């Protein structure tokens, strides 16, 4: 690169989720997400500037679940809706449950947000873990077993998102319906990979 060249940097964000039962090892969903790039850019800028208070709180705060991401016809065919990742009013299609996941207020080890980096890599991961445990006061009205026939139930999830503490949707992923019942613990491991690169421009 000549001294007269300038560097143009790029930031790429990609993510994927794994929904599994940590007790049995059964994996129910592995899927990539859609990113709300406007809200994500504000969150990154706010974190770098250490902004908080009235202006906004940009750290990841919670995971939200819903049941409005798919349409299932009488034959059982599943149609997936498009993720809501444009505009300031973006939200889940039908939110039915939320869980705090940040390290200050969440249960240690079961609901966490951690940054992971390996020296030499041009990317870092933000790993959000959200655990919905067996029957608890937080969702006491769930079915006892995972044999639901009503795909519109509050604990049959087909969409989820990560929100920051400013209540902005950062990501949205839609998947085939998964039931949370009293006899099942499910855990979501949501990885956001933030990659940086550059190119030379004249």
pLDDT in tens, 169-191: 999 999 999 988 888 889 999 99
Give the residue extent of every domain in the chain.
Answer: 6-25+32-201
Per-residue pLDDT tens over the stretch 31-62: 999 999 888 988 888 887 877 654 567 889 99
List strands edge to edge, sheet with 186-201: 27-32, 6-20, 186-201, 123-132, 112-116
pLDDT at 147 over 80: no
The 10 Å Cβ neighbour count of residue 138 is: 11
Closest CA to 16 of 34, 1, 38, 41: 34
For the stretch 59-73, what's the b/e string if a residue is b when 16 or more beta carbons lie within 10 angstroms of its beta carbon? bbbbbbbbbbbbeee
């Amino acid at each position: 690169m000549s001294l007269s060249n300038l560097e143009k940097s790029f930031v790429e964000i990609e993510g994927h989720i794994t929904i599994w039962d940590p007790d049995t090892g059964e994996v129910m969903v592995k899927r990539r997400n859609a990113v709300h790039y406007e809200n994500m850019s504000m969150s990154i800028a706010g974190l770098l500037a250490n902004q908080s208070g009235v202006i906004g709180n940009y750290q990841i705060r919670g995971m939200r679940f819903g049941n409005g991401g798919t349409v299932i016809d009488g034959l059982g065919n599943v149609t997936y809706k498009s993720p809501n990742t444009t505009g300031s009013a973006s939200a889940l299609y039908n939110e039915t449950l939320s869980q705090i996941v940040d390290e200050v207020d969440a249960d240690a080890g079961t609901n966490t947000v951690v940054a992971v980096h390996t020296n030499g890599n041009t990317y870092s991961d933000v790993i959000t873990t959200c655990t919905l445990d067996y029957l608890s006061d937080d969702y006491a009205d769930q079915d006892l077993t995972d044999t639901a026939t009503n795909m519109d139930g509050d604990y049959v999830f087909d969409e989820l998102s990560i929100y920051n503490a400013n209540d902005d949707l950062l990501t949205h992923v839609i998947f085939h319906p998964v039931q949370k019942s009293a006899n099942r613990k499910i855990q979501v491991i949501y990885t956001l990979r933030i990659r940086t690169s550059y190119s030379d421009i004249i």
